[in-house]
């Protein structure tokens, strides 16, 4: 499994760096989620980690850099989870269900990541796009193709695939944001079923 060639010299150092970065990132995520960007004090982060403030700056040159690294890590974890959820499925409806469940369960487990998304937009308003959507764009064509296939197969109605994708994506995004903004406590799998039901069948009786 660990197929990287182990070269002689100081291989452990690299690992150390990686491990340290991850530790810092994990704590930083918690800190930002707790205090917001501005109020999150790098000194507090260092204290919680039991290291010096300078050490944090060794691994992340600025607070902003640290923040975006945390956002990135969070979103990458989300993407991995959602991708994995439908790996062995080709049925469009099943895949959609799996993806929605994975998406909502991820944010249920990692509520801090939602906070990071909000904070990112609140603090870095001048960015063209939030990180989340940069990642999303990468999977755009793949999603579109899957939707078009499903329509071709007659599993979904014929609709503009991009717009369908938007509505589904927006709906899920809205669910997790509302959960946080309204302090809503609904079991995530119930939410998933509610969303799936409406997205698949609509409100009208057939």
Dist. CA 200–CA 7, nearest whole Å: 53
11 contact, one of its own copies, DNA, none, CB 5-8 Å limit per kind:
DNA
Handedness of CA 132, 49, 181, 203 (dihedral sign): positive
- 169 contributes a contact to its own copies by CB under 8 A: yes
- Is position 18 an interface residue for DNA (rule: CB under 7 A)? no
Could you say which of its own copies, DNA, none residue 169 binds, taking C-beta under 5 to 8 angstroms by partner kind? its own copies
The full DSSP string for 68-104 is: HHHHHHHHHHHHHHHHHHTTT---HHHHHHHHHHHHH
182 lies in the binding site for its own copies (CB under 8 A): yes
Q: Contact between 41 and DNA (CB under 7 A)?
A: yes
Smallest CA-to-CA distance from 123 within 38, 51, 194, 198 is with 38
Site string for DNA, 54-83 (x = CB under 7 A): xx-xxx-xxxx-------------------
Residue 52 in contact with DNA, rule: CB under 7 A:
yes
Cα distance between residue 40 and residue 128, in whole Å: 24
The footprint of DNA (CB under 7 A) covers 7-13, 16-17, 20, 38-43, 46, 50-55, 57-59, 61-64
């Amino acid at each position: 499994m660990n197929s990287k060639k182990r070269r002689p010299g100081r291989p452990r150092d690299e690992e150390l760096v990686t491990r340290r970065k991850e530790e810092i990132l994990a704590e930083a995520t918690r800190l930002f989620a707790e205090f917001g960007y501005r109020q999150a004090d790098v000194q507090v982060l260092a204290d919680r980690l039991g290291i010096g403030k300078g050490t944090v700056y060794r691994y992340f040159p600025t607070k902003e850099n640290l923040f975006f690294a945390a956002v990135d890590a969070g979103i990458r974890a989300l993407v991995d989870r959602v991708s994995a959820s439908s790996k062995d499925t080709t049925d469009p409806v099943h895949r959609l269900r799996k993806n929605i469940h994975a998406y909502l369960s991820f944010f249920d487990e990692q509520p801090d990541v939602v906070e990071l998304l909000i904070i990112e937009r609140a603090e870095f308003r001048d960015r063209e796009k939030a990180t989340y959507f940069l990642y999303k764009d990468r999977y755009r064509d793949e999603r579109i193709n899957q939707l078009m296939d499903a329509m071709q197969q007659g599993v979904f109605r014929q609709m503009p695939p991009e717009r369908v994708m938007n509505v589904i994506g927006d709906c899920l995004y809205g669910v997790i944001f509302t959960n946080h903004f309204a302090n809503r406590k609904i079991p995530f799998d119930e939410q998933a079923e509610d969303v799936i039901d409406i997205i698949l069948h609509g409100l009208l009786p057939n």
